[in-house]
Amino acid sequence: MLRRPHRSIVPVLLCMTSPAYAEITAMDVWENMRTTASVFGGNLAARLEESDDGLNASIVTYRLSLTAPTSNNGQPPAHLADIEIMLPDMSLKETSQGTVQLNYDLSAPYVFTVSLSEGETFAVSTSLSASNGTMAATGTPEKITYDYAAERFQINVGPFQIPDEDDVFEMKMSFGYENLLGQSLIDTSNGLKISSSSRNSLNTFTSEDREPSEDGSIKITSTKGTSRGVTASSELSLPSGEINLFNLARALRSGLQISARMAADHYDETENTTLSGPNSRLIAHRETSLGGQDLSFTLDQKGIDLSLAARDVDVDATLPSLALFLIGTFEISAKHLDFRLALPLLKSDEVTDSFRLLLGLDEVELGENTWSAFDHSGTLPREPGNLKLDISSTTKSNIEWLDFWELDSALDATPGAYVQPYDLKIDTLLLEALGTIASATGAITFDHSDYETMEGMPLPEGDITVDIQGVQALLDALVETELLPTDQAAGVRLLLGGFSKSIGEDHLTSTIEMTAEGHILANGQRLK
């Protein structure tokens, strides 16, 4: 059974091929395109006809047979589905400067068809339009650069339907680009390398999905996003072989490297979720604004490294369904948002993998409507909050996470931990909110030769120091606003007194130590 795609599907435009290095022919360009298309094991074919100045390609079709890899228990590859993409006709015209001009017939849509081995089939139609669009190929037969430009470029996908258990899920999307300028270098001299860069003044994205409800109503989710001043770049390197989508681990071990970056000067997004039919109503409304953003990721043998930086973040959400729970409108803003996640993904026999998580939120503020939902009197401190987190760990993974076909059986066959941490470092943990300041630092190592002392866990050794200021005043304010019962506040104070010591007015500190003998100490007093 086909499953619903994630709403934020992003189109990847390999707009195929810098200054001319030597004369290339139309056939050189066609073969370069065919080589690129074969990276996933597919085949690009067309009816080719020679013209006075190059080639005309019609009935252009890309076909890919999705086959699961040979399983670890020796079972032969299983055929899962066939994918066919009908592409527009194109002409490849050779020029006197040694370049090739590419022209596409955009009057005909792309048709994307998936036929499952069980007999189910679904198709998606995609239409393209361009204003003053050009594309030219230059270089050598094995290294071809594609330069492209358009005043406006539009992609419309769907609507299309996908069965989802007992219902039918319908979706459509569109992508728009203004003042688009880009370049892609496709190098087939030693494996495959693709380097791309582009910029445009305006990106637009819209989507609408429809989901039937049990009472006969239709839940409609509409999204519109706008990015301004967009730049993007990407790199793909595959020294040898093909990419099997069911086992990316194999391609990574063969040298696959992927990196990408996208930056925008400003981004706005609006999303509405409504219910149409007998019980028509607004379910949710959200507006998001970013003063600027920079998103990047890499994927290689070390794992995935994802980072996001944004400034002037504003989110306003209206949730009528939660109005009975006090918060019908939620407003939050932040001056800066920083996020990074480095995550190992390949199975390893050695302790060489590194995990890291960084999170930063500066000058976080809630809107007045949000505050008034639970603090009418303004008792709680409302100064902007801050959060900083930087933790890392050296790990060893016992699972090949990107071998999707064997993942379930690997999880079932692994008796112990899927990931073994050998240390944990808290370089920064800082929270400033509601008049309190809480911070922590520390480092712990884990001894995997001893699972008995801590009853099934690796023996930890190290210490963590915690510092808290203003918590007593916060408890008083929470009691005054009736958000926290008096007896529960007393319980929190008792707990804090047992694990911390006072070093000033409303200022607590605590050092939690884990020893090689399996003891746990708080400020020198043994807890375990």
Residue with tokens 């004369």: 23
DSSP class per residue in 12-39: ---------SB---HHHHHHHHHHHHGG
> Whose CA is closest to 342, among 331, 353, 328?
353
Q: How far is residue 200's CA from residue 415's CA, in Å, rounded to a whole number?
A: 51
90 bridge partner residues: 57, 104
In three-state secondary structure terms, 397 is: strand
Q: Residue 17: its pLDDT value, please?
A: 35
pLDDT < 70 positions in the chain: 1-22, 70-75, 163-167, 321-328, 353
Q: How far is residue 79's CA from residue 76's CA, in Å, rounded to a whole number?
A: 10
Q: Residue 262: its pLDDT value, please?
A: 97
Helix 486-499 with 471-480: angle, nearest 10 deg: 170
Residue with tokens 């086959």: 67
Stated as kind and residue range, the H or E segment containing 508 is: strand 507-514
Q: Residue 16: its pLDDT value, please?
A: 35
Q: How far apart are the first and last CA of the chain?
A: 52
Q: How far is residue 50's CA from residue 56's CA, in Å, rounded to a whole number?
A: 6
CA torsion through residues 43, 44, 47, 51, sign? negative
Residue with tokens 């409108």: 329
Q: How far is residue 369's CA from residue 316's CA, in Å, rounded to a whole number?
A: 10
Q: Residue 19: its pLDDT value, please?
A: 40
